[in-house]
Amino acid sequence: MLKLKRGEVTVQGVEGPVSIRRNDYGVPRVSSADDIDLFFGLGWVHAVDRPVELELTRLVAKGVAAEFLEASEELIAADIYMRRYNLWGDGREQVSSLTPEALRITEAYCAGVNEALERGARPFEFKLIGHRQEPWTPADCIMMTKLIGLIDMTETQGWIEKLIVQMLQKGVPLDQLRELFPYLTDEPDPAFLEVLKKVRLSEPVVPPTVEWGALPRLTASNNWVVAGSRSASGKPILCGDPHLDSARLPAIWQEVMLRSDSLWFAGCTVPGIPLPALGRTGSLAWSPTYGYMDVIDFFVEEVKDGRYRRDGEWRDFRVREETIKLKKGEPRRALFYENEHGVLDGDPSEDGYYLCMAWTLGRGTGADTLNHGSYLISAENVEEAMPHFAAIDFCSQNWTCADAEGNIGYHQSGRSPVRAAGCSGLLPMPGWDSSYDWKGTCPVSDNPSLFNPPEGYIGTANQDMNFCAGTQACTIAMGDWRARRIHELLGARTDHTVESMQKMHYDLYSKHAEDWMPLIRPLLGEGARANLLRDWDLTYTSDSVAASVFEHIYLELARIVFGEQSLGGEVIGYLMDESIIFADFTGSFDQVMLREESLWFGGKTRDELLRLAVERGLAEEAGPWGEGRKVMMNNIMFAGRLPKFLGFDYGPIEIIGNRATIPQGQIFHTMGGRQGTFSPTFKFVTDLAEECIYSTMAGGPSDRRFSPWYTSGIADWLAGKYKKTAP
């Protein structure tokens, strides 16, 4: 592959020469006279620094990993799963919907990628398996945006909605489910509830996408911004720290610096996508978090003789046949049965009831992410940028932003469906009755939004943002503990600085523990562990034994309430230990456990169950919190299969924090046994009074193992040391 070391490299772009060099931290700086050549240079940088990440992600997204990488059952399953969503087919269709400017940018980016691929040598990883990369296309760029919106984002909403059906089938009453999911306001006909109990569900396993560590999975995030009235500089300060899998190398993000004669950008990009993801220009700064908008619904389809019922008649499914070619072995055939709502979850060769998923960000979307994203790098202020944030269509995201004029703002992207009256979206609807069909989507201007709020700050951390929306966008979200802590710290002073914001990025105080300790403390009694917990300062520091004791008690209560008193130990054990569901939606379970009385308590009071949880939790051995927080950062190609001394993997590192601390640190396992994590692996702060950003990242610019920039940022990220990137 072409080398980008410490000297300057000049390549010919679309309109003129493009100069590329690294700063002292290895971050590529792309310079050109013409704006369009910045995107050519960005593509060139992605192909030089991240060739393996680019290609692996594309192969999995297209559903051809088993053809070009390895014909393992895991990758075959992943291919079938990705073909179900048909991201590649949608991407090709959406190219024609790109605006002239977005197409020009995307084609320049692809030209830069292909220039580097053509002139460079194949990565040795691909030589080992005999693989050659094909040219990068605009369809690939659109497919990549849709992939990020699907993996662990849209997916998790679907898992919860399937879980509700599974709970109904296990005999959990609807009123009990309403305690767990307050937005579940449906009043279904009793006969339809009986139908739901007969629905054929696919196995309750985590989808293969979660097993494949190469995918760009963004699970949670924080972002916040203060107005000049709360900063020492008198200008807004914006902070972001998107959360993703920290147990992988390279990091999903590629930091870059772009500068032409008319603009500059410093921040992060995603290899394969031609536009900046988060960071700032001379005029505008922005950062996203996942918005948890409910963009999917399930419809129940009645199937008989291979057909489905619709308004009193039986219709044929559209059958899409996909051939899964294998690197070794005979191809496999996958059939997908589609109708007005989406793809059937099952094989209609057997009569019965099946689910079919409708997704507002599925077919017919993707181009608007690039169409509206292309405006951001030249936007002059927040008011100009917010409609473009709103119209980005790859996913529901909470976009906070600030400008050099002094404005701050927030707008959520995503397309919320207009449902039939009385339908929350959490309960499946009868697909055979067209009156239950969606009536289009809500205007994106009705999505949650704030502009220069009187308190002088905005903070989002995946919490419910319906309070500032013109529609009910969210039906289930993460707990609000991180958001409450962010708001508490932002509102506590009017002289915030870059340094105070950096300190917030590493704040380990838990509002969740603050909620629970007044209930737990009177039940503690005497003993070494009880005394430690009684005097705990509610921070998840690495040496805190009290934090471990608290977690033992809290998780024991969850097992008692949702296992012993209701769903059974096997079900809650799966949700807590072998999936991401409890980690993602602890807040929903928590709101039930905080009740003094609940239908989930099996006729007992909360304090009775909590007393039992305290007794069991205190009986468990407890060590310092950090001892159980060590993970390896594994190379995405070799996935921990190589000896550590070869240097492809890094660690172990400690994942700091917990579900409720600002640096959210979550560690979970899937049914396949793979360890997953999410934590804020890129953190940045920018004061609009300066022309720079301060950042730290869990990884380096390159995915080349023998590059000095492979793991170059990890030590500073662990230590909380930020670098300055300026134009």
pLDDT in tens, 362-372: 889 999 999 99
pLDDT in tens, 469-508: 999 999 999 999 999 999 999 999 999 999 999 999 999 9
pLDDT in tens, 421-469: 999 999 999 999 999 999 999 999 999 999 999 999 999 999 999 999 9
pLDDT in tens, 272-281: 999 999 999 9
> Can you give the pLDDT at residue 205?
37
Q: Which two tokens stand for residue 639?
A: 């996935």
pLDDT in tens, 234-281: 999 999 999 988 889 999 899 999 999 999 999 999 999 999 999 999
For residues 712 and 250, the answer to whether their CB atoms sit within 8 Å is no
> Can you give the pLDDT at residue 152?
64
- Mean pLDDT, range 115-140, rounded to an integer: 95
Element (H, E) at 281: strand 278-281
Length of the chain: 727
d(CA 519, CA 596): 11
- Mean pLDDT, range 35-55, rounded to an integer: 97
Q: Measure the CA angle with vertex 81, ends 586 and 206; round to 5°.
A: 25
Residue 657 has, within 13 A of its CA and on its CB side, a CA count of 26
pLDDT in tens, 585-607: 999 999 999 999 999 999 999 99
- Mean pLDDT, range 659-677, rounded to an integer: 80
Is it the case that residue 216 has pLDDT exceeding 80?
Answer: no
d(CA 607, CA 611): 6
Which DSSP symbol is given to 566?
I
> Can you give the pLDDT at residue 625?
98
- Mean pLDDT, range 659-664, rounded to an integer: 96
Domains along the chain with CATH numbers = 511-627 (1.10.1400)
